[in-house]
A and B are shown apart, each in its own frame.
Chain A
């Protein structure tokens, strides 16, 4: 069972070696302190003191193992405070009685002829009850703490995994798909060309096929910038057949930019926007330019088109831009990588891709 994907926090966690070592250390220390205390305070021999410490504490350790499982069923998450108190009081009473009774029984059996010790054993019962309660409370508290910490760690691991899955899904959703408008318009242009200029129709089909192949096959997120530029060129080539002299294109890419890794299909939506804004504006003509250069920490890509401020732009054109913004922020965890500049007649989107 994959822990992080199951919805239920596993009640019994697998035993881990470090935890076992810590437990052994703690109990060794307790036994040592217990031994020393009886040896120095009450003057019993080291052997007697050690036996006392070992029997009492190992029995308690056994009980604590049971308590560990018990705390998984009776915990603050599913019980009221009153319920919890009654539960623990009952269990403490029963376990501590058994604990003290059994320990004394075993020690009496071992040291049947050490009268002073037997007397001490009987007299120490109240003290042992207090000690037992202290042990009980400490163990329960530690157990709850460990469980809470484990649960928090398990939850954060789960959340991390979910957020990773979400990010992946988000990126898939944001990855620009071929715009159906573009596809149908291209098919219409091809159809028109088959009637008048079949060889150009053939060229356009090949361009469109390459374009679609790139957009469908680039499932990996990152590609080299030169691959992106080639895709952009194919796209603009197709649009140029559609709009002929109405579309002017200027692409300038610094040679050192070519091998830089960028998110795939990040440029095309921006160019689609640029073409659409210009073509359907008042001018009817558009010149689109793409300029890429490398600065110290960024590959800076500027995509601009002429536009007219007078003309209210039809809705829906902001979608491609929003998509690019979202993808950039998902890819690089930054929100300042896409800038928009509106001059009097020039609309520019600046993309800053961290190198």
Chain B
């Protein structure tokens, strides 16, 4: 009989103990590993493949959500957290279940069965395509986590110069360098503080504090010069938005 592999990700050892204890008498499950933060988890998943992941949200370094954003192939995910404020976001991220700590063995088993049901019904190819949904929220973010090869980089939003759209992803130009991220412009327009960022063009969201000047370019377009000397185009709409912001 095939054993499903489980990864436990939680920074508190006591919390990991509970999951391990609950899985003790399951002979269809094998605990592939335990990680105490997002970085460890990313590293672990580079060399291991797991079917199910129990994931805490608030952890050191990066949160469970931030880690999922940069994780390529995603296993079945069950969020385990003490707070219900993240539930909506968790389901937007295609979590199979969301269980509140402390949880009973019955609740835990129900979530596990849901995952097992999914795993058994999905064809292997379907299993791989776990497209990350985007949540358009009004909640402002204060950092963006990106992956650069094997390295994970946390970019404070203050250090972002501008974000450039590039078909299915965006390029984040920051003081720490340029990074690619699988998100849409619409997403960043909704979650970057409108008092700090402005959409100057269909293709650009710019940090207001990075703008040095905006000048007319052609009859109905403008060009913005950034503090680092880069020039980016500004549309008519973008210019009006900028004017409105200055008032």
Interface residues of A (CB under 8 A from B): 180-181, 184-185, 187-193, 195-196, 241-244, 279-284, 310-315
Interface flag for B122 (CB, 8 Å): no
Q: Return the 5 tightest CB-CB contacts between A and B, nearest first.
A: A191-B102, A184-B82, A192-B14, A312-B156, A188-B101
Q: How far is the CB of B118 from chain A (nearest CB, A)?
A: 26
Residues of chain B with a CB closer than 8 A to A184's CB: 82-83, 100-102
Query: Which B residue's beta carbon lies closest to that of A190?
Result: B102
Chain-A contact segment, one of B54-62, B71-79, B125-133, B177-185: B54-62
CB distance from A311 to the nearest CB of B (A): 7
Q: Which residue of B lies closest to A276 (CB)?
A: B58
Inter-subunit contact B14/A188 (CB<8 Å):
yes
Contacts of B215 in A (CB 8 A): none
Tally of B interface residues using CB under 8 Å: 27
Q: Are A281 and B82 in contact, with the CB atoms below 8 A?
A: no
Interface SS majority for chain A: helix
Contact B37 A284 (CB under 8 A): yes
Q: Are B154 and A312 in contact (CB under 8 A)?
A: yes
Report if B137 contacts A (CB, 8 A).
no
**CB proximity of B6 to chain A, nearest CB, Å:** 17
B11 touches A (CB below 8 Å): yes
Which residues of chain B have C-beta atoms less than 8 A from A311's C-beta? Answer: 61, 154
- Cβ-defined partner of B36 (8 Å) among A181, A282, A284, A315: A284
Q: Once the chains are docked, how many angstroms separate the CA of A187 from the CA of B100? A: 11
Tell me how far the C-beta of B217 lies from the nearest C-beta in chain A, rounded to whole angstroms: 35
Q: Which of B21, B101, B154 has the most CB of A within 10 A?
A: B101
Q: How many Å lie between the Cα of A152 and that of B60 in the bound state?
A: 58
Complex Cα distance, B156 from A313, in Å, reads 9
Q: Which residues of the other chain, A, contact B14 by a CB distance below 8 angstroms?
A: 188-189, 192-193, 196, 241-242
Name which residue of chain B comes closest to A313, CB basis.
Answer: B142
B138 within 8 A of A: no
In the assembled complex, B147 has its CB within 8 A of some CB on chain A = no
A315 contact set on B, CB distance < 8 A: 140, 142
Q: Is the CB of A280 within 8 A of B59?
A: yes
Q: Once the chains are docked, how many angstroms separate the CA of A180 from the CA of B83?
A: 9
Find chain A residues with CB under 8 A from B83 CB: 180-181, 184
